[in-house]
Amino acid sequence: MADSQERWCLVTGGRGFAARHLVEMLILYDIYAVRIADLGPEIKLQTHEEKGSLGKALSSGRAQYVSMDLRNKSQVYKACEGVEVVYHMAAPDSSINNHQLHYSVNVHGTKNIIDACTVQKVKRLIYTSSPSVVFDGIHGVHNGVETMPYPATHNDSYSSTKAEGEALVIKANGINGLLTCCIRPSSIFGPGDKLFVPSLVSAARAGKSKFIIGNGMNMYDFTYVENVAHAHVCAERALASGGTVSKRAAGQAYFITNMEPIKFWEFMSLILAGLGYDRPQIKIPAFFLMPIAHLIECIYQRLAPYGMWAPQLTPSRVRLLTCNRTFSSLKANDRLGYRPIVPLQEGLKRTIESYYDLRAELWHSKERPSKTALCLGNGMVADILLWRDAKVTIGAIVVMFGFYVNFVVPGHTMITAISKVFIMASVFLFIHGKLPNKLLGFTLDKIPNSKFQFTDTWSHQTALSLASYWNYLAYTLKSISTASDSVLFLKTVISLVILGLIGTMSLQSFFTKVVPIAFVAFYLYEQKENEIDGFLLEKSVPIKHLSSSIFLRLLNLSKSIHKRE
């Protein structure tokens, strides 16, 4: 399969985030020809890759791509044929809570790699593990070292199966001349990541990145992706050195970090601020989120057999965001000769520059939703009330009119009206399910099961929304008590007055008065947002002075009472 004149290495999961950087580094160092293995039937290069070293290496034959599934033993054996070194980096997405998938890839797939290496007489195997193999999901880790044992229970199935795979690789050291070691890179970041920074920006654009979970003092070790690639090269070179160096390096696991611990939420803030978004400032105590997370997890345990997706907000993830996770790389420095080649601040700078398309100013100028849209959730309700799509809005009006005529005008109570709606919906769904896929030459689209599932995104966003509303309420009360935001005070008073009026209305009055006003008011406010806010600010100045005077007098009164006591 490989050119007998070439010395080949294999990178499994070679199209993954960190693996791409390793492939580029291996091509640059020109010690081995590089075989890239991944699930795709063929390699698809990005524009910069086509013009760069990878494209040139593929064209010249110094690199080649093979389609390989770790769970397919014959494909693994074929990929390892004629290879001197294997960098085993392939793994499923750690955010997917699917034990069967993780076990089949991280354990059985790693067994296949080890078997292929021993049969094909591969000389060295470097396995990409994770610091999570020593994390129990409860207790933080401060300056962790490799002598830490695996916990009795892991944080999730990804961590437990990575630990099993790691143990297999360490145990395989010395079999048929194979030298092995394991790399545990901590919290990888850098250019090309399609998960961490995009998710952070998405949260910022939805107004959900302003929160700090916990006290914000927990320390983390983040590792720039180029340093992770460099650590793999250092590990391979140490194993290849022979003698005492190889013996000391082989059969071991190593924590890899930037050797610059930083507060977790400070790191998040640096990324967000670098891209032009607000830094998180509002702190949500972990004890507040924990009951919500436990509730979601309980619901998931009950509904998982019926297809509910695994939630993102779980007790273990709340702990993960609030605990310390720092690790020592002294052993890697001593036995592998590893030192970070890119400092943390430089890595942050390169990362931020690489995501120019996600910068806040570009979003503000193109697609930033208005305050009204954010208030309405920027979803279907916003689309309807803000007349974004006339057909959708008119359709909603027709539906509400039908509800009004059939359920409100006859004088039904709210419970009776809702019950009848559910009866009609049940009848419709039953008949729709019984109908064939094709009827009178027309194709009927069946409702997919996914429409009846609680997705992890939905549950995660619901929990964050609850926390967001709670903190906004606390912020509003705080602002009112200090008289620091007169506009907010005026809006709060007006909103409460309107809510009080709505509460006194009958269902019929609500449909004939409130709903039409809502369609007009929200639309007008979005169109004249700046003018209305400016008017409120101008008119609220006297109120601010008055409220400040009142609160100051009350404060002085309370102080005088306290002194007397």
E strands within 430-530? 438-439, 442-443
325 contacts 255 by C-beta, under 8 angstroms: no
**Which residues have a Cβ under 8 Å from the Cβ of 175 and sit 6 or more positions away?**
114, 118
Residue 514, exposed/middle/buried by CB under 10 A (0-12, 13-18, 19+)?
middle
* Catalytic choice (44, 51, 78, 162): 162
* 3-class DSSP assignment, residue 183: strand
Structure letter (DSSP) for residue 310: P
Compute the distance between CA of residue 22 and CA of residue 39 in angstroms, rounded to an integer: 18
pLDDT at 170: 97
Residue 254, H or E segment:
strand 252-256
Give pLDDT, residue 43. Answer: 93
- How many helices and strands, by DSSP H and E, does the chain display? 25, 17
Residues 6 or more apart in contact with residue 287 via CB below 8 angstroms: none
Amino acid 108: pLDDT: 97
How much is the pLDDT for 520?
Answer: 79
* DSSP assignments along 60-110, one per residue: HTSEEEEE--TT-HHHHHHHTTTEEEEEE-----TT---HHHHIIIIIIIH
Q: Are 135 and 155 in contact (CB under 8 A)?
A: yes
The Cα 549–Cα 189 span in angstroms is 51
Backbone angles phi, psi at 155, to 5 degrees: -70, -35
11 within 8 A of 22, measured Cβ to Cβ: yes
**How confident is the model at residue 559, as a pLDDT?**
46
Three-state DSSP class for residue 128: strand
Position 180 scores a pLDDT of: 97
Residues 28, 312: Cα–Cα separation, whole Å: 39
Query: What letter represents residue 298's amino acid?
Result: C
Provide the β-strand partners of residue 126. Answer: 87, 181
Looking at residue 162, its pLDDT comes to 96
Residue 434: active-site member: no
Per-position pLDDT tens, the chain of length 565? 445 567 999 999 999 999 999 999 999 999 999 999 999 999 999 888 988 999 999 999 999 999 999 999 999 999 999 999 999 999 998 877 788 999 999 999 999 999 999 999 999 999 999 999 999 888 899 999 999 999 998 888 899 999 999 999 999 999 999 999 999 999 999 999 988 899 899 888 877 788 898 889 999 999 999 999 999 999 999 999 999 999 999 999 999 999 999 999 999 999 999 999 989 988 888 888 888 888 887 887 777 676 666 666 778 778 888 999 999 999 999 999 999 999 999 999 999 999 988 988 777 655 555 666 666 655 677 777 777 677 777 878 887 887 777 777 777 666 777 787 788 888 877 887 777 777 666 666 666 665 666 555 556 556 656 665 676 677 677 767 766 666 667 777 887 887 777 677 777 777 777 778 877 777 777 667 666 666 655 555 554 454 445 444 444 544 444 444 4
Q: State CA 514 to chain mean position distance.
A: 39
Q: Is 486 exposed, middle or buried (0-12, 13-18, 19+ CB in 10 A)?
A: buried
C-alpha count within 13 angstroms, C-beta hemisphere, residue 468: 17
Helix (H, G, I), strand (E, B) or coil at 263: strand
CB 254 within 8 A of CB 146: yes
Task: Determine how β-strand 188-189 pairs with β-strand 262-263.
Answer: unpaired
DSSP secondary structure letters along 198-247: HHHHHHHHTT-SSEEESSS--EE--EEHHHHHHHHHHHHHHHHT-HHHHH
CA separation for the pair 76, 117 (Å, rounded): 9
